[in-house]
Structure 1
Amino acid sequence: MGVVVVVVVVVAGGIIVVGAFGGLHWYLWRRLVWETTVRGSIARRVGTGVIAAGPVLLIGAFVAERAGIPFLIVQIIAWPGYMWGALLVYLLLSLLVGELVRPLLRRWIARVNSSATLVAAPEDVLVPATGVSDAATRDRQQQLEHPAPVSRRLFVSRAVGGAAALAAVSTVGYGTYGVLSGPRVKQLTVPLANLPRAAHGFRIAVVSDIHLGPILGRGFADRVVDTINGTQPDLIAVVGDLVDGSVEHLRSAVEPLSRLHARHGAFFVTGNHEYFSGVEQWTEHVQELGMRLLANSRAELPFFDLAGVNDIQGERIGHGPDFVAALADRDLARTAVLMAHQPVQIHAAVEFGVDLQLSGHTHGGQIWPGNILAGLANPTVAGLEHYGDTQLYVTRGAGAWGPPVRVGAPSDITVIELASKQA
C-alpha cells in the first residue's frame, strides 16, 4: 500500500510540474506571439516554433548528459537548450513587470487619442491618373498610402512584448559575456586566532564550481588556470564541482589544470557533480593532473592543517563526508582549514574545532533571483561569515552550471590571505 501511495504522489507531482511548465510557455506564447502578430503571418509561425522548440531543447539538455548520448550531440543540444532556460526566466520576469505597465500605457494612449482632432481635407480624396473615377483603385491607393491604424490593444501588446524580449535578451547576453570572459580575482584577508606569526600573509587561491563540460571547455580551463597562476598563491584549493561529464569526454578540457602551480601545491575535494560524472575515475584523474586529493583526510602543512571531506552526495554510494577521519586525533593547538564543497557542512566543522571552512556549491545564486532560493538551502550563499569560533567562506565559483549565464552573482577566484593575530 505504501508503494502505491508513493507512486501516486510522484505521478501527481510530475503532472503538476509538467502542467506548470507548459502553462508558463503558453503564457509566453500568448503575450509574445499571439497578441503581437497577425494570424497566418510568418512572424507568428516563427515565434510559435521558437517557443515550442525551446522547452524541448531545455529538457533534452538535462536528459542528454545522463542518457549516454554521444557527447557531440550533447554539446549541440546543450547550448540552445540551457540558453532557453535562462531566457525563460527573464522573459517571465520582464512580462510580469509588463503586466503592471500595460494598463498605464493603455490609459496614456486613450488620453492622447481623446485630445487629438482628426480633420479630413477634401484634397485627400485620390483620383486615378486617367481622371476616371474608380472606387477600387482609390481604395487600394488609400490603403497603401494611409494604412489602417494599429489598434490600441495591438500597439500595447507589441510595445510591452518587445520591451520584455529586449530586456531578457540583453540581460542574458550580458550574463553570458561575464561567464565566458572568465572569473574575476577577489582578494580577502581572514584573521585566524591560532595561526602562527610565521604564516602571516599565507595566500590560498580558492576556486570552485568550474563545471567543465559540454559548454565550458578547454579554452575556459586555460583562462581559469592562467588567472589562478597569475595570483602567485602559496596554495590552491579546488573545492569541488570541477566537471560535468566523464573523463573520456573531458580529458582534453581538463588538461590545462596540470599547469596549476603553487609553492605548497594544489588540493582537491569532490563536489556533488563529481558523483554524477564517474567519481572513481575523476578522483584518479585529478591526481594524474598533479592535484592532491583530500578524501576525508588532511595534510599537515608547515603552519596549519589542511583537511578535506567528501561531498554529501557521496553518501548514496557509501563515500560521504567523514569528519572523524579527516579531523580526529589532530593537534588542537594548530590552525585547521577545511575544504568542504557544500556550506551546510559548517555545522560539523564547528563541532570539530575548524578555524576556517572553504566552500562553494551555491554559485552565489548564479541567476538572480536564484540567490533567494540558494539562501533557503544554504547557511551562507556567498562571502565570509562567523559560526561561533569557526569562519566560513563561500566562493561564487569560477564557472556556471546549465546556462553559461550569471546575473547578480559574478564568478570569482578568491585569494584568501591568512592573517595571524600574533603578528
Structure 2
Amino acid sequence: MPFRLSSFSMLIGLGAVLGHLYLYRRLVRELVRGRVGRLVAMVVLGLLTLLLGLRRTLLDAVPEQYERTVTVATYTWMGVALCLVLALGAFDLVRALLALSRRLQQRRATPLAAPSEEPIDPERRKFLGRALAGGAALAGGGLASYGHWRAFAPPMVTEVAIRIPKLPRALDGLSIVQLTDIHVGPFIQRRFMDELVRQANALKPDLFAITGDLVDGDVPTLGPSVAALRDLRSRYGSYFVTGNHDYYSGDVEWTTFLQSLDIQSLRNRHVRIGDAGASLDLVGVDDWSGWKRRNQKGYDLDLALQGRDPERAAVLLAHQPANFKVAAERGMDLQISGHTHGGQLVPMTLLINFAWEHVAGLYRHQDSHIYVSRGCGFWGPPMRVGSPPELVKLVLTT
C-alpha cells in the first residue's frame, strides 16, 4: 500500500508526538518508579503515537476484518489522551499562576516583613508532584467518561421559530426536523439509529431534512444500520443532501440506497413542498468541498435554482455553512446546515470560531437566516465535551 500523508495527517501526527511527550513527562515520570516501568511506558506511548499519526496508513494495511477494531481503539485513545492532556494542562496552569502570585506577593513585601524562605523537602516535593499528577489523571479520566456518555446519550432537542415573510399563510407553522452529522460507522450503529428515529418521530414534523455526513463507510457494511431511517414518519417525507464524508463513502451508492428507503436526494435541484394551493421550494445542493477528493461534480447553486420562481419562499439544505450570504442574495429565506459539530470537543469548541463564520445556532443576513446544527452524532473520538449533540426542529412562520 502507498504511504498516505496529508496536511491533516501531519497535524494529527505532530499533536500525537507533543501530546505523548507531555503525558510521559507529567504522568510517567511522576507516577512510575523504576527504569523498567518507565521504559515499558515509553514503548507503549511510542506505539500509541505511531497508531495515531499513521492511522490511515495502518487502516490500509490491516485485513478488512480488523479495520473496525483498529478504528475504535485509535479514536478512543485519541479522546482519552486529549482529556488527560487538558486536565494536566489545567492543573499545571493553576499551579503556575499560584507560584507567580506568591512571587509577586514576596516582591511587594518589605525586606523586614518578608518571611524567611525554608528549604523544600525533596520527598515532600515528590509527594506533591505525584498527588497532582494522580489527581489530573483522575480528572482527565472523568472528563473522558463524561464525554463518552454525552456522545451516546440522546441528543438535546432544539426548537426554533423562524419567520419567513414569503411563506404562504396555509403553511404557517410548518416544521422541519434536521438530522445531520450522524456519522454511522464503527461506533454509531443500528441501536443508536433506532433510538434517534424514535426521538425524531416524537417531534411530529412535517418534513425531515438529512443534511449530510450520514455515514463513514460503504453500503454493504452500514446499510443495515442506516435502514432505520425507513421508519421516519412525516407529512411531506424525508430529504437528503450529501456531506463530505458521504462523498468519501460513495455518494452515488448511498443516494441510491436512500432512495430505496423512500428518502429523496436533492443533488443540486429543488422540489415543491405542499400542494397546488400553498407550497414552498425545498432546494438541495451537494457538499461544498467533498467532491474534490474524487474529482466529481459538487456544489452548484445555479443548477439547483434553475427554473425556480424567485418570489416563492425557499429553504436551502446545504451540508456546510458555506456560501450563505450568496444564497441569501439569491432568494434563499433559510439555509439549514451542519458540518461543524460546534467543535465537538474542547479546545476545538473555541478554535472552530477561527475556521467558520457560522459555527452553531441561528444567524441572520438581511431577511435570510441560517441554522447550523451541532449534529446528532460525532466523528473521531467517541466523545463530546462542550458541544452536546442536538436534534433540531425548525418551525416556519409568516
TM-score range, shorter chain: 0.7 to 0.9
Q: Deviations over 1:367-422 (max 9, x none)?
A: 022122222222211000002222000010000001111011110110111111xx
Partner secondary structure for residue 344 of structure 1: coil
2:312 maps to: 334
> Does the Cα contact within 8 Å between 2:88 and 2:140 map onto a contact in 1?
no
Deviation at 1:348, TM superposition (A): 2.8
1:96 maps to: 89
Length-normalised TM-score, structure 2: 0.86
1:368 maps to: 346
Larger Rg computed on CA atoms: 1
| Residues 323/248 of structure 1: CA separation in 2 closer, same or farther (3 Å cut) | same
Letter in 1 for 2:252: E
Letter in 2 for 1:405: M
Deviation at 1:39, TM superposition (A): 1.1
CA distance in 2, matches of 1:27, 1:230: 47
Q: 1:204 aligns with which of 172, 176, 185?
A: 176
1:79 maps to: 72
CA distance in 2, matches of 1:16, 1:211: 22
CA distance in 1, matches of 2:287, 2:208: 18
> Does the Cα contact within 8 Å between 2:247 and 2:291 map onto a contact in 1?
yes
Deviation at 1:93, TM superposition (A): 2.1
1:185 maps to: 157
Cα RMSD (Å): 2.8
Point out the more displaced range, 10-19 or 220-229. Answer: 10-19
Q: 1:267 aligns with which of 224, 230, 239?
A: 239
Partner secondary structure for residue 322 of structure 2: helix
CA distance in 1, matches of 2:237, 2:230: 11
2:167 aligned with 1:195, yes or no? yes
CA distance in 2, matches of 1:94, 1:408: 14
> Does the Cα contact within 8 Å between 2:284 and 2:317 map onto a contact in 1?
yes
Letter in 2 for 1:308: G
| Residues 88/285 of structure 1: CA separation in 2 closer, same or farther (3 Å cut) | same
Letter in 2 for 1:35: E
2:33 maps to: 38
| Residues 217/15 of structure 1: CA separation in 2 closer, same or farther (3 Å cut) | closer
> Does the Cα contact within 8 Å between 1:255 and 1:289 map onto a contact in 2?
yes
CA distance in 1, matches of 2:272, 2:322: 25
Q: 2:49 aligns with which of 27, 52, 55?
A: 55
1:314 maps to: 291
Q: Deviations over 1:98-144 (max 9, x none)?
A: 22344658999xx9x9699xxxxxxxxxxxxxxxxxxxxxxxxxxxx
Letter in 1 for 2:52: L
Point out the more displaced range, 224-233 or 263-272. Answer: 224-233
Deviation at 1:51, TM superposition (A): 2.6
CA distance in 2, matches of 1:274, 1:188: 27
1:129 maps to: none
Q: Deviations over 1:331-351 (max 9, x none)?
A: 122110000000013133123
> Does the Cα contact within 8 Å between 1:271 and 1:341 map onto a contact in 2?
yes
CA distance in 2, matches of 1:244, 1:217: 11
Deviation at 1:45, TM superposition (A): 5.8
1:121 maps to: none
2:390 maps to: 412
| Residues 242/12 of structure 1: CA separation in 2 closer, same or farther (3 Å cut) | closer
> Does the Cα contact within 8 Å between 1:203 and 1:235 map onto a contact in 2?
yes
2:264 aligned with 1:292, yes or no? yes
CA distance in 1, matches of 2:208, 2:168: 20
CA distance in 2, matches of 1:271, 1:13: 18
Partner secondary structure for residue 413 of structure 1: strand
> Does the Cα contact within 8 Å between 2:13 and 2:49 map onto a contact in 1?
no
CA distance in 2, matches of 1:107, 1:115: 19
2:323 maps to: 345
1:131 maps to: none
1:28 maps to: 23
| Residues 59/21 of structure 1: CA separation in 2 closer, same or farther (3 Å cut) | closer
> Does the Cα contact within 8 Å between 2:10 and 2:53 map onto a contact in 1?
no
Q: 1:394 aligns with which of 369, 372, 385?
A: 372
Length-normalised TM-score, structure 1: 0.81
Letter in 1 for 2:281: D
CA distance in 2, matches of 1:14, 1:54: 15
CA distance in 1, matches of 2:13, 2:70: 21
Letter in 1 for 2:233: H
2:358 aligned with 1:380, yes or no? yes
Q: Deviations over 1:43-92 (max 9, x none)?
A: x4664455334333334544455x27544412212222112211222222
> Does the Cα contact within 8 Å between 2:16 and 2:53 map onto a contact in 1?
no
Point out the more displaced range, 99-108 or 332-341. Answer: 99-108
Partner secondary structure for residue 343 of structure 1: coil
CA distance in 1, matches of 2:315, 2:309: 13
Point out the more displaced range, 235-244 or 214-223. Answer: 214-223
2:302 aligned with 1:324, yes or no? yes
| Residues 19/345 of structure 1: CA separation in 2 closer, same or farther (3 Å cut) | closer
Partner secondary structure for residue 127 of structure 2: helix
Q: 1:304 aligns with which of 262, 271, 280?
A: 280
| Residues 224/71 of structure 1: CA separation in 2 closer, same or farther (3 Å cut) | farther
| Residues 115/23 of structure 1: CA separation in 2 closer, same or farther (3 Å cut) | closer
